């Protein structure tokens, strides 16, 4: 049998890798890839808690539905913004997007 | 060591190894292809968790839609010089330290939790759970309103995506 701790450690490490990607990468699309990794770590945690603590209840799975929906919406809007910015400024690097900086 | 534990370790190594490749690859297409590998590994972890429905949804939604969308966006926007630029910003060392501290403190904090080493209880995780999930999602006593809000959010996000990705016409400028 696999103890719950294995899943939690895997999710924590995956979240850390995704956090590094969000903080350290320059390209906006690479930052979005990091966010996807973090959302997947959250999904592993939610489903592990569902299986090990409340397998007869589906509340954890409802949360997973919401995470999937928000992930899809976030990627669609994020990539549309990247394309829009790329059209105007011809760049996809976060440190070159300083129009709002004063 | 039991066979199921070896399967879990293979899946975890696949997920973590390809996740490291996603955040370190200079070529974004390679990073996106490694992201597909990570998502497949997560689907494998979902199967081990007996969340079969979510393994299917993971493949259909994440690999089938989100990963393909990301690859299309990379192909549309990639700079010619993009592969020669340094992929990390100046704060990469601090970001790495912060990530290690964040996951380390998460594991440390969770290790004091009494249920940390719990094993899975015997439960019916097949058709019953999927039927219950569908009933809960669409019953007024359950989660009908959050489901409706989520669908409106998706619609609004897609309209916003179309509006902002659409080329700006000459008259508006």
Task: Answer yes or no: do A77 and B96 touch at CB < 8 A.
Answer: no
Q: Cβ A86–B77 below 8 Å, yes or no?
A: yes
Q: How far apart are CA A71 and CA B165, in angstroms?
A: 18
Q: Which of B49, B56, B122 to mutate to test the interface with A (most CBs of A within 10 A)?
A: B49
The per-residue pLDDT for B151 is 94
**Contact between chains at B54 and A61 (C-beta distance less than 8 A):** yes
pLDDT level of residue A45 (50, 70, 90 thresholds): very high
Classify A93 in phi/psi space as left (phi over 0), alpha (psi -120 to 50) or beta.
beta
Q: According to the model, what pLDDT value does residue A40 have?
A: 95
| pLDDT given for residue B170 in this prediction | 57
Determine the distance in angstroms separating the CA of A101 from the nearest CA of chain B, rounded to an integer: 18
Q: What percentage of chain A carries pLDDT values higher than 90?
A: 63
Mean of all residue pLDDT scores within chain A: 90
pLDDT recorded at residue A95: 79
Residue B156's pLDDT is: 95
Do A37 and B35 make contact, defined as CB atoms within 8 angstroms?
yes
Q: What secondary structure does DSSP assign to chain B, as a single string?
A: --HHHHHHHHHHHHHHHHHHHHHH-SSHHHHHHHHHHHHHHHHHHHHHTT-HHHHHHIIIIIIIIIHHHHHHHHHHH--TTTTTS-SB-TTHHHHHHHHHHHHHHHHHHHTTSGGGGPPPPP---SHHHHHHHHHHHT-TTTTHHHHHHHHHHHHHHHHHHHHHHSPPPTTT-
Interface test mutation site (partner A, options B47, B75, B151, B161, max chain A beta carbons within 10 A): B161
Q: Tell me if B73 and A19 make a contact (CB, 8 A cut-off).
A: no
In CATH, what number does B1-78 get? 1.20.120.1200
Domain map (residue ranges) of chain B: 1-78, 126-167
Residue B99 has a pLDDT of 94
Positions in chain B short of pLDDT 50: 80-81
Looking at residue B19, what is its pLDDT?
Answer: 95
Identify the helix (H) or strand (E) that includes residue A47.
Answer: helix A28-52
pTM: 0.91
| B165 touching A (Cβ < 8 Å) | yes
Apex A87 CA angle, B83 and B66, nearest 5: 65
pLDDT tens figures, A46-63? 999 999 998 888 889 999
Over the stretch A64-96, which tens digit does the pLDDT of each residue have? 999 999 999 999 999 999 888 888 877 778 878
Q: How far is CA A59 from the centre of its chain?
A: 21
ipTM: 0.91
Domains of chain A and any CATH numbers = 4-91 (1.10.287.3510)
Cβ-nearest to B49 among A16, A48, A79: A48
């Amino acid at each position: 049998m696999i103890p719950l701790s294995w899943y939690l450690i895997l999710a924590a490490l995956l979240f850390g890798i995704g956090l590094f990607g969000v903080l350290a990468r320059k390209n906006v699309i690479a930052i979005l890839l990091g966010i996807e990794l973090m959302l997947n770590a959250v999904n592993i945690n939610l489903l592990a808690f569902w299986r090990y603590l409340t397998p007869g209840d589906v509340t954890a799975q409802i949360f997973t539905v919401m995470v999937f929906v928000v992930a899809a919406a976030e990627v669609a809007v994020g990539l549309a913004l990247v394309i829009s910015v790329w059209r105007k400024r011809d760049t996809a690097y976060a440190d070159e997007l300083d129009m709002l900086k004063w | 060591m039991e066979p199921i534990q070896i399967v879990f370790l293979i899946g975890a190594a696949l997920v973590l190894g390809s996740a490291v490749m996603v955040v370190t690859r200079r070529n974004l297409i390679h990073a996106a292809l490694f992201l597909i590998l990570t998502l497949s590994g997560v689907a494998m972890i979902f199967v081990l968790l007996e969340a079969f429905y979510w393994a299917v949804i993971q493949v259909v939604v994440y690999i089938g839609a989100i990963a393909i969308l990301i690859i299309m966006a990379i192909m549309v926007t990639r700079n010619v010089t993009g592969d020669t630029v340094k992929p990390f910003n100046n704060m990469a060392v601090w970001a790495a330290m912060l990530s290690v501290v964040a996951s380390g403190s998460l594991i440390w904090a969770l290790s004091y939790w009494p249920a940390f080493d719990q094993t899975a209880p015997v439960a019916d995780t097949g058709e019953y759970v999927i039927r219950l999930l569908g009933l809960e999602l669409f019953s007024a006593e359950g989660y009908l309103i959050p489901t409706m809000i989520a669908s409106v959010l998706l619609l609004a996000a897609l309209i916003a995506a179309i509006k902002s990705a659409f080329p700006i016409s000459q008259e508006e400028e």
